[in-house]
Amino acid sequence: MRTIGGLWRWRRNPLRRRTDLAEAWLALLALLLIAVVAPLAGVAAGAAAEHALQQSVRDQHRARHEVVATVVRKLTRAPLEPDPEASSAQDPRSRVLAGWRAPDGSAHQGKVITVLRSPHRGDHFPIWTDRHGRLVGRPLDTATATTHAVLAGVAAALMTVVLLEAARRLIVWRMVLGRYARWDQAWDRAGPDWGRTGTGS
């Protein structure tokens, strides 16, 4: 609204310079581009991210399998949890030696992090493996993928706003520099006659 008001105010003002009107039109154009281009960029980026992430979700769910592991024995305290999404402050971790059977039927044994509070020999807990029984991370879920896609869209829209505003400011800065240069030229021309009564008459 301030931009439109500025255009109206400069419409027939006798003190108006061409650069004043150009700055007002530039501000209006930037506002319109922000209102139109930024949402479109956000939607496009979000849709592209959603498509890629949902494909990743499908691929991970095809390649990763939840199997049941059996505790062989408890080991020393667990190292740092590699999957921050899978843990929380109220989610104690234990490191155990466990055995499991892969989807292809092969038997495996290894050191595993479990959420069992007090694991004992013979306890069962779920783990994720590939089809050959190698341990893998939990697959990405649809809701998390959608959340990431929305965040990507918002980030793209904000980045578009920042770029458009930066471009507007850069153009205005160049216009101001040009205005100062013209003032300097005008002062150079008027300099020899400055302060002399009747000069030029």
Report pLDDT for 115.
Answer: 82
Arithmetic mean of pLDDT, 75-81 = 59
Tens digit of pLDDT for each residue in 102-157?
998 899 999 998 888 888 899 999 999 999 999 999 999 999 999 999 999 999 99
Report pLDDT for 83.
Answer: 54
Read off φ and ψ for residue 156, nearest 5 degrees: -65, -40
Q: Using 50, 70 and 90 to split pLDDT, how confident is the model at 87?
A: very low
pTM of the model: 0.62
HSE of 88 in the Cβ direction (CA atoms, 13 Å)?
2
Give the distance from CA 71 to its chain's centroid.
Answer: 41
> For the chain, how are helix, strand and coil distributed in percent, rounded to 5?
55, 15, 30
Arithmetic mean of pLDDT, 148-170 = 95
108 three-class SS: strand
Report pLDDT for 28.
Answer: 87
Higher pLDDT, 33 or 200: 33
Q: From CA 57, how far away is CA 45, in angstroms rounded?
A: 18
The beta strand positions in the chain, using DSSP E, are 65-74, 94-101, 107-114, 124-129
Q: From CA 79, how far away is CA 94, in angstroms rounded?
A: 9
4-27 exposure pattern, b = at least 16 Cβ within 10 A, e = fewer:
eebbeebeeeeeeeeebeebbebb
Tens digit of pLDDT for each residue in 4-53?
555 455 555 555 566 667 777 888 899 999 999 999 999 999 999 999 99
Report pLDDT for 124.
Answer: 92
Report pLDDT for 92.
Answer: 59
What is the torsion angle, in degrees rounded to the nearest 10, for the CA atoms of residue 135, residue 137, residue 138 and residue 141?
-140
Report pLDDT for 116.
Answer: 83
Report pLDDT for 191.
Answer: 65
Q: From CA 55, how far away is CA 53, in angstroms rounded?
A: 5
Report pLDDT for 18.
Answer: 65
Instruction: Report the 10 Å Cβ neighbour count for 30.
Output: 19
Q: Using 50, 70 and 90 to split pLDDT, how confident is the model at 201?
A: very low
